[in-house]
Amino acid sequence: MGIKSGVAKAGIKPSGQLDILVMKFKPSVYSVYLTQNSLAAAPVIYDREIREKQKKISAIVVNSGNANAATGEEGLRNAEEMAKIVADKFNIPSEEVLVFSTGIIGVQLPMDKVRKGINKAIDNLQDWDLELSAKAIMTTDSFPKYAEEEIKVNGKSFFVKGISKGAGMIHPSMATMLAYIFTDVKISKPLLDEITKDILEKTFNSIDVDGCESTNDSVLFVATGESDIEITEENKDLLVKPLYSVALKLAKMIVKDGEGATKLIEIDVRNAKSNEEAKKIGESIAVSNLFKTAMFGNDPNWGRILSAVGQLHLDIDFSKVKLFIGEFLIYDGKPIKFDRKKAEDYLKRNSEIKIKLILNRGSSNWKYYTSDLTYKYVEINAEYTT
Amino acid sequence: MGIKSGVAKAGIKPSGQLDILVMKFKPSVYSVYLTQNSLAAAPVIYDREIREKQKKISAIVVNSGNANAATGEEGLRNAEEMAKIVADKFNIPSEEVLVFSTGIIGVQLPMDKVRKGINKAIDNLQDWDLELSAKAIMTTDSFPKYAEEEIKVNGKSFFVKGISKGAGMIHPSMATMLAYIFTDVKISKPLLDEITKDILEKTFNSIDVDGCESTNDSVLFVATGESDIEITEENKDLLVKPLYSVALKLAKMIVKDGEGATKLIEIDVRNAKSNEEAKKIGESIAVSNLFKTAMFGNDPNWGRILSAVGQLHLDIDFSKVKLFIGEFLIYDGKPIKFDRKKAEDYLKRNSEIKIKLILNRGSSNWKYYTSDLTYKYVEINAEYTT
């Protein structure tokens, strides 16, 4: 395999766990989506510049344990240096290296450790190990997140493989958390951009844990072109399907691992006027603390769900709305009698919950994913201080 | 005093506490602000119609324990009937009565109880008792909320008195929760509207408990004209000051009584480009779960505060930003060394916290009020099901 990865323990994480990841591949087309938070971290600012001028990249370097955010000029110089160390070691231009960081905000990178760690990771380079790579980018994550698919077409084949991290500060705007997804198809950059933009919206941009957008959110798609499969406008569905599937798996793992979460909740908004409206409605439910605590309490509280929709002031006619929790219809244009015990049991017994809201005002659908709000979320974010 | 109140226990609240309030006064100019939530409750829909056609009102009726929301046609008929019972009993037109409800969503009002309760309340009519009135509109509130001021001008005097309720589902858009504020000055309706609109924005529309907007939010200002003081464009500050003061006191009581809250937090945003921007920034911090849990955990976590600002994508230059917790400067254009122990002690020892964010990009200021997010909030909203 042409994609290589190396990891190292640089000592940035107080726990002493893996905290450096370097990946090397042949010069490849890519699409990268970076947070819009105006407190953007130094690596995000650095990567924005690379994105402006570079059609191809051939390496990435990631550190966990320190976000290099709110670190001013010194932070920017450190992000640049991370790219340069990698470039020098591989004898490639600095502009072919993207840099990512995740962890604590407002603390300068310990560059002595970072330098040694990057060199060590490169010395450890091997065929891409997804699990090890995913471990090296974890922060408050409780499990490594990776997914892969192989697709066979007329005797040929290609793959889509990815890793991601994230558990808190999850509420994306242009992208969320860190995720790196590779495929070996041949594809032009414009077509890759077109396909990934749509997939991004439906996956990493449709998840929430706590309504809080991060300073370092980044999602990278890379196509190395090493397989014999060429993707064009005509056969693009070949790639869209597995790419969407891997991205969605990775995004859902982030929600499932949401700080303190006991449930992954799918909010399926149907028959809205537009995709934008459907997404906005899903999001409004997803971020409602009253909804999220009700889900934790196994309470089929339809009033809180509809009220979160009403909060958008979209002039929804609630006499046309149907609401399901699992397979149970719990609101049908007006309050109805439903078997509360059964609906509660469904919520109690499942860690993956489906909410379906049928608006009957158009033909657009959207799925949004969120977690419940628990005592543990408060504990993680109140008791464990920075 | 020309303003009368009567309360009763109608049995709408399972606890058997006071749940009906009727107020009667001479036909008076008024300004009423009603929720924009499109799942608006029946009394809100009813009051909107009255607002369209009536320059003066002379009575209000409020029930607690049942919001009369998501109750369809039957709910609307019940709201109308509540007004009619009051109107008949006082021998006034129905159009002079505003109706309000608060409590559980999606359950029809028990009209037998409501009818008897309203009649009983009217039989109990007496000079306005603020504390009793405030008690009759409580739901999850832990204390009754009322405030009053008397203003003397050249030997004459006037008063501003008000009551409010609210503890959860607090995140206003046009108005929040229930609040009724009376003054006895003489004033035209247009001038009262102008003054109260501005005061509403700076008080009830600048508070948050949980980001969730209610279906029944209503704020009513009434001027009975019984005092000898006449308010005009020229001397309007006479009224603005005490009216703002009473409204702010009532609004802050709602935040202080926020479900599970241990802290009332004032977010003072300074030197923004515009009032709208300053308010938006205050709100973004106020609704951040990461900020609210940090406050609960006594953690002076400036990264979470600045990140909530960055989330608005306003292109803020954080190298110009200063951030204070209490009197402690904790961020000064970049991370700085500050006495963390002292800042933590300040958060630990005070139940009223001040956060000051100086943006240095304009001359507009705004204060927003919020509460912390605690285990108790999760308990109240997860364990006590509907």
Q: Examine the pLDDT at B254 and tell me if it is beyond 90.
A: no
Q: Examine the pLDDT at A100 and tell me if it is beyond 90.
A: yes
Q: In this structure, are B226 and B288 located in the same domain? A: no
Cβ contacts of residue A256 below 8 Å, gap of 6+?
A264, A351, A371
Cβ contacts of residue B240 below 8 Å, gap of 6+?
B195, B198, B199
**Tokens (6 digits) for B302:** 């400036």
When pLDDT is cut at 50, 70 and 90, the band that residue B280 belongs to is very high
CATH number at residue B308: 3.10.20.340
Mutate to test the interface with B, among A34, A210, A212, A336 (most CBs of B within 10 A): A212
Q: In this structure, are A294 and A231 located in the same domain? A: no
Structure confidence by residue, pLDDT tens digits, B363-382? 999 999 999 999 988 888 88
Cβ contacts of residue A50 below 8 Å, gap of 6+?
A57, A95, A97, A98
User: Phi/psi of residue B65, each to 5°?
Assistant: 95, -15
Structure confidence by residue, pLDDT tens digits, A261-273? 899 999 999 999 9
Closest by CA position to A69, among listed B227, B181, B361, B304: B304
Q: Which of B289, B299, B319 sits opposite A386 (nearest CB)?
A: B299
Q: Is B34 on the interface with A (CB under 8 A)?
A: no
Which pLDDT score, from 0 to 100, does residue A359 have?
97
DSSP A145-214: EEEEEEEEETTEEEEEEEEEE-SSS---SS--SEEEEEE--B--HHHHHHHHHHHHHHTGGGEESSS---
Closest by CA position to A218, among listed A57, A1, A16: A57
Size of interface A-B (CB pairs under 8 A): 195
Which pLDDT score, from 0 to 100, does residue B170 have?
61
Q: In this structure, are A116 and A181 located in the same domain? A: yes
Write the CA distances from A127 to A122, A227, B334, integer angstroms: 12, 16, 41
Q: In this structure, are A50 and A109 located in the same domain? A: yes
Structure confidence by residue, pLDDT tens digits, A289-298? 989 999 999 9
Q: Which structural domain, as residue segments, surrounds residue A147?
A: 4-256
Q: In this structure, are B167 and B295 located in the same domain? A: no
Note whether B364 and B252 are within 8 A (CB): no
Dist. CA B146–CA A1, nearest whole Å: 72
Question: Which strand (E) or helix (H) includes residue B136?
Answer: helix B130-136
Q: In this structure, are B227 and B151 located in the same domain? A: yes
Note whether B341 and B325 are within 8 A (CB): no
Dist. CA B90–CA B59, nearest whole Å: 9
Cβ contacts of residue A60 below 8 Å, gap of 6+?
A21, A22, A23, A97, A98, A99, A100, A180, A220
Q: Among residues A214, A240, A256, which one ends one of the domains?
A: A256
Please report how the helices B72-90 and B42-53 are oriented relative to each other, as an axis angle in degrees rounded to 10.
Answer: 50
Q: Among residues A200, A224, A256, which one ends one of the domains?
A: A256
Structure confidence by residue, pLDDT tens digits, A323-367? 999 999 999 998 899 999 999 999 999 999 999 999 999 999 999
Q: In this structure, are A235 and A325 located in the same domain? A: no
Q: What whole-number percentage of chain A has pLDDT above 90?
A: 68
Cβ contacts of residue A122 below 8 Å, gap of 6+?
A6, A22, A24, A86, A89, A90
Cβ contacts of residue B83 below 8 Å, gap of 6+?
B46, B61, B94, B97, B98, B99
Note whether B351 and B262 are within 8 A (CB): yes
First vs last C-alpha separation in chain B: 41
Which pLDDT score, from 0 to 100, does residue A173 have?
42
Are A307 and B212 within 8 A, CB to CB? yes
Q: In this structure, are A242 and A299 located in the same domain? A: no
Amino acid present at A49: E
Q: Among residues A233, A256, A279, which one ends one of the domains?
A: A256
Q: In B, which residues are within 8 Å of A304 by CB distance?
A: 212
- Select the highest-mean-pLDDT range: A290-294, B89-93, B296-300: B89-93
Dist. CA B314–CA B311, nearest whole Å: 8
Hey, how many other C-beta atoms are within 10 angstroms of the C-beta on B32?
A: 23
Which pLDDT score, from 0 to 100, does residue B175 have?
33
Cβ contacts of residue B276 below 8 Å, gap of 6+?
none
Which pLDDT score, from 0 to 100, does residue B305 have?
93
Q: What whole-number percentage of chain A has pLDDT above 70?
A: 95
Note whether B379 and B303 are within 8 A (CB): no
Q: In this structure, are B286 and B236 located in the same domain? A: no
Query: What proportions of chain A, in percent to the nearest 5, are helix, strand and coil?
Result: 35, 30, 35
Q: Examine the pLDDT at B173 and tell me if it is beyond 50.
A: no
Q: Is B48 on the interface with A (CB under 8 A)?
A: no
When pLDDT is cut at 50, 70 and 90, the band that residue A256 belongs to is confident
Decide which of A380 and B54 is more confident: B54
Active site residue A176: yes
Write the CA distances from B160 to A20, B163, B222, B249, integer angstroms: 64, 11, 10, 12
DSSP-derived secondary structure letter, A249: H
Q: Is A345 on the interface with B (CB under 8 A)?
A: no
Which pLDDT score, from 0 to 100, does residue A386 have?
45
Structure confidence by residue, pLDDT tens digits, A216-254? 778 899 999 999 999 999 999 999 999 999 999 988 888
Marked catalytic residue, from A176, A203, A215, A224: A176
Are A303 and B70 within 8 A, CB to CB? yes
CATH number at residue B49: 3.60.70.12
Torsion on CA atoms B361, B367, B370, B372, rounded to nearest 10: 60
CA distance, residue A71 to nearest chain B CA (Å)? 7
Marked catalytic residue, from B176, B196, B203, B374: B176
Mapped onto helix, strand or coil, the DSSP state of residue A241 is: helix
Alpha carbon of residue B33 to chain centroid: 11
Q: Is B341 on the interface with A (CB under 8 A)?
A: no
Provide the number of structural domains found in chain A: 2
Closest by CA position to A105, among listed A65, A141, A77, A134: A65
Q: In A, which residues are within 8 Å of B173 by CB distance?
A: 311, 313
Question: Which strand (E) or helix (H) includes residue B288?
Answer: none
Q: β-strands B126-127, B328-332: how paired?
A: unpaired
Q: In this structure, are B202 and B327 located in the same domain? A: no
Which pLDDT score, from 0 to 100, does residue B1 have?
66
Q: Examine the pLDDT at A369 and tell me if it is beyond 70.
A: yes
Place of tokens 């303003």: B3
Q: In this structure, are A330 and A203 located in the same domain? A: no
Closest by CA position to A350, among listed A372, A367, A373: A372
Q: In this structure, are B173 and B77 located in the same domain? A: yes
Structure confidence by residue, pLDDT tens digits, A4-43? 999 999 999 988 999 999 999 999 999 998 887 778 889 9
